[in-house]
Amino acid sequence: MMNKSFITSHWISALLVTSLLPAIVCAQEHEPQDGVRVGKMSMMRKLGNLGGNLDQQASAQYTQTMKDAQQKRALAPDNHPQLIRLRAIAKKLIPFALPWNDRASQWQWEVNLLASNQINAYCMPGGKIAFYTGILDSLKLTDDEVAIVMGHEIAHALREHGAERAGKSIVSNLAVRGLALFAESKGYNGQAVAGIGGAGANLIMLNFSRDDETEADIVGLDIAARAGYDPRAGVVLWQKMGVVNKKAPPKWLSTHPAGNDRINEIRKHFPEVLPLYAHAIGVAPGNLPAYKSNVKVIADVVN
């Protein structure tokens, strides 16, 4: 049987952490000077990346993934046309990514291409970017669409969403544990209470992930537009994604917003990002031509 003082001390600790949660989440640092506005970053990311452990783990994981791919002959060589293309796009995006995170200028940026049918791409903490051939081939991505995908993934790293989710998970787990201990001290089944609390916490974390995806979409649009890539490509990208991903999970159980919601959110920010794009290519905003889809069943995007 647990000592009562032990239960009480753990409950108090969990209660303190939970009570501090709103302050931690609201504490922020960075904010763009113009373009899109998404607010400053949550201080929760500092809890999730104490001592830079998450960055180190991400770098080690990326290195190991590339080594494994090379052994399987799935890592594209430096002279691969698609890899050259990806690196050229990244070279244009990265300068406009740096203002979003002070640490980004110190990152050792990398871009690699993996031979796989997966429709996927990512950017790990520290600027470690990977694309799979599946996303390029299946979606027939134009350079503008590649820039939207890459900008989105870079935004996750810049906004330190991985560390933020880790920090929120720590707080959530402490709160659930504290609730279970408190229930046990009152004679209830702590394990059952923990199960219910954990299920609720998981749904909350899914919502956090959807918020992160929306933020990455918006920041990615800003970065791509400044680099001279048409942000309207985001609409076509998600229309293409909808064609190949018809069996998506229900929105409320998904870590990603529904495709139509993403498209609507992208369109909502056109007034902020289209002038950036127009300026980058030296055209008056009112004279921008339509973004032309390379898929017949998808209409061109005017605004």
Pairing state of beta strands 121-124 and 110-114? unpaired
Amino acid residing at 104: A
Residue 124 included in any domain: yes
Task: Tell me which residue of 233, 227, 207, 87 sits closest to 148, measured CA to CA.
Answer: 233
Tell me which DSSP letter residue 302 carries: -
Residue 11 included in any domain: no
Could you tell me the end-to-end alpha-carbon distance of the chain, in angstroms, rounded to an integer? Answer: 66
Hey, which residues are catalytic here? Answer: 153
Residue 42 included in any domain: yes
The whole domain housing 118 covers 26-164+203-287
Tens digits of residue pLDDT in 17-57: 444 444 444 434 455 567 777 766 555 454 444 445 667 78
Residue 187 makes CB contacts below 8 A (sequence gap 6+) with none
Res 187: pLDDT: 58
CB 205 within 8 A of CB 119: no
Residue 123 included in any domain: yes
Residue 232 included in any domain: yes
Residue 224 included in any domain: yes
Instruction: Name the domain count of the chain.
Output: 1
Q: Is the pTM value of this prediction over 0.75?
A: no
Task: Tell me which residue of 274, 273, 293 sits closest to 284, measured CA to CA.
Answer: 274
Tens digits of residue pLDDT in 58-81: 888 899 999 999 999 999 999 999
State how far the Cα of 109 lies from the Cα of 232, in Å rounded to an integer. 26
Residue 87 included in any domain: yes
Residues of the chain with pLDDT under 50: 1-29, 44, 46-51, 176, 179-180, 190, 192-208, 251-253
Residue 2 included in any domain: no
State how far the Cα of 266 lies from the Cα of 234, in Å rounded to an integer. 7
Res 5: pLDDT: 40
